[in-house]
């Protein structure tokens, strides 16, 4: 391609010299000099353009590499600290811990090496890719709720949107570690529908905001009761409250939530805003600022419905993400879809950044035993904890018993 450009520049200079000789009565020497000057200027401009483009690609590659090396450095620091703490341990335990740490660190180093090797290829693909492809893919993945919007609006008017709570269980002791607030819709025949069956993923923002507010009102009612009582606040169990882009885009609702959190900073620390991964990744600047304003009060973020655990966890922790959630069935049966690590290394690696890995949608005892083998510490789902009315469940002294599931 560059050769063609140089040929074109040469022909253009030749044509300019020939035209000056015939049309402007230049002498042959003057016409030749004019052509040489024109060709030289064109070559300089073209070479400078190529160099600027190469520098831009190089700077972008350096930025990507820096992020990967930052993750590698984090893992190296943790490994160094762990090795310093093993002085008082016997050699057998020391060797087992070192093997586990080196295994995780080796995976990180391998990822960095692969990223460096594929950097130019990835950049080329990114330049050539159509920007509409990702949008089309997102639209393809959106599944409309089975309950019509008009029925959901009627349920809101009739007061049939009910906030239930479910427990996040700690393994292996199966003690309650946190509560999940989950909106349900009661049909006119008394049947209950889950959030995925009636909350749209796109559109109807006002309706989604109202449903989010139901959850916040339940939490703030509970916290208000705790403030009035003599219960020990330090024993309160964290509460995961769903929040959506629709709510984060409305500054009046965000300010209302902030005002509630300002009532008690200590109680605000038990709240974790749970948001789907696809919404978290598509937040615009305004929504990111509003979410940051909420977590500044001491709360945290929980990313749910995670489809890929190949994430920059150091950056997530910097943005106050305290937990991520992946589907139990996919993690057990199709680990390679979520991560490049061995299943037994994933939770240990993520925890190094102060982030908990929660397995969602636990379905049976076999899954729990399999997750235990992979050192998974947290699980949720209807099997381990059926949803129940929120206000009757949000009591810390009822949450320290073993789950029946």
Q: What is the CATH number of the domain that holds 357?
A: 3.20.20.450
For 264-296, b/e burial (b = at least 16 CB within 10 A) is: beebbbbbbbbbbbbbbeebeeebeebbebbbe
74, 215: one domain = no
Q: How many helices (H) and strands (E) does the chain have?
A: 19, 10
Residues 6+ apart with CB under 8 A from 168: 176, 177, 178, 179, 180, 240, 358, 378, 379, 380, 385
User: Is residue 139 domain-resident?
Assistant: no
Q: Which range, of 119-128, 276-285, 293-302, 337-346, averages the lowest pLDDT? A: 119-128
**Residue 265 pLDDT > 50, yes or no?**
yes
Measured distance CA(379)–CA(167) in Å, rounded:
9
**Residue 389 pLDDT > 80, yes or no?**
no
42, 167: one domain = no
Q: What is the pLDDT of residues 103-137, one digit of tens each?
A: 656 665 666 666 556 665 655 555 544 444 443 44
pTM for the model: 0.62
User: Is residue 134 domain-resident?
Assistant: no
User: Is residue 403 domain-resident?
Assistant: no
60, 24: one domain = yes
CA atoms within a 13 Å half-sphere pointing along the CA-CB vector of 377: 14
216, 286: one domain = yes
98, 160: one domain = no
Count of domains for the chain: 2
Which residue segment(s) compose the domain that 75 sits in?
2-128
**Residue 390 pLDDT > 70, yes or no?**
no
User: Is residue 404 domain-resident?
Assistant: no
Cα distances from 363 to residues 220, 347, 378, 387, in angstroms, run: 31, 20, 14, 14
187, 113: one domain = no
Q: Is 81 helix (H, G, I), strand (E, B) or coil?
A: helix
Strand (E) or helix (H) holding 107: helix 91-117
Average pLDDT, the chain: 79
241, 110: one domain = no
């Amino acid at each position: 391609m560059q050769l063609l450009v140089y040929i074109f520049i040469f022909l253009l200079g030749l044509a300019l010299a020939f035209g000056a000789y015939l049309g402007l009565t230049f002498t042959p020497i003057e016409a030749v000099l004019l052509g040489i000057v024109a060709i030289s200027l064109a070559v300089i401009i073209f070479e400078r353009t190529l160099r600027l483009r190469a520098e831009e690609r190089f700077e972008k590659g350096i930025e990507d590499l820096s992020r990967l090396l930052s993750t590698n450095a984090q893992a190296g620091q943790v490994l160094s600290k762990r090795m310093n703490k093993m002085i008082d341990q016997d050699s057998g335990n020391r060797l087992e811990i070192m093997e586990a740490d080196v295994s995780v660190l080796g995976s990180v180093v391998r990822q960095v090496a692969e990223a460096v090797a594929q950097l130019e290829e990835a950049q080329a693909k990114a330049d050539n890719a159509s920007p509409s492809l990702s949008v089309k893919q997102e639209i393809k993945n959106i599944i409309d709720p089975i309950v019509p919007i008009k029925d959901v609006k009627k349920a809101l008017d009739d007061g049939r949107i009910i906030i239930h709570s479910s427990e996040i269980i700690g393994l292996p002791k199966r003690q309650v570690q946190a509560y999940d607030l989950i909106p349900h819709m009661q049909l006119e025949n008394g049947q209950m529908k889950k959030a995925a069956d009636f909350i749209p993923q796109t559109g109807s923002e006002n309706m989604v905001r109202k449903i989010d507010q139901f959850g916040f009102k339940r939490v703030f009612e509970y916290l208000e009761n705790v403030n009035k009582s003599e219960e020990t606040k330090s024993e309160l169990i964290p509460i995961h409250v769903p929040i959506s882009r629709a709510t984060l885009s409305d500054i009046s609702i965000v300010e209302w939530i902030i005002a509630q959190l300002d009532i008690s900073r200590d109680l605000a620390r038990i709240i974790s805003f749970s948001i789907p991964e696809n919404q978290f990744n598509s937040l615009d600047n305004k929504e990111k600022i509003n979410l940051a304003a909420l977590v500044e009060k001491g709360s945290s973020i929980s990313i749910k419905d995670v489809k890929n655990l190949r994430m920059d966890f150091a950056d997530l922790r910097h943005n106050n993400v305290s937990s991520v959630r992946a589907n139990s069935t996919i993690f057990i049966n199709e680990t390679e879809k979520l991560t490049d690590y061995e299943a037994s290394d994933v939770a240990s690696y993520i925890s190094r950044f102060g982030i908990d890995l929660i397995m969602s949608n636990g379905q049976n005892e076999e899954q729990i035993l399999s997750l235990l083998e992979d050192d998974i510490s947290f699980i949720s789902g209807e099997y381990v904890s059926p949803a129940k009315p929120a206000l009757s469940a949000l009591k810390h002294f009822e949450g320290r018993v073993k789950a029946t599931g």
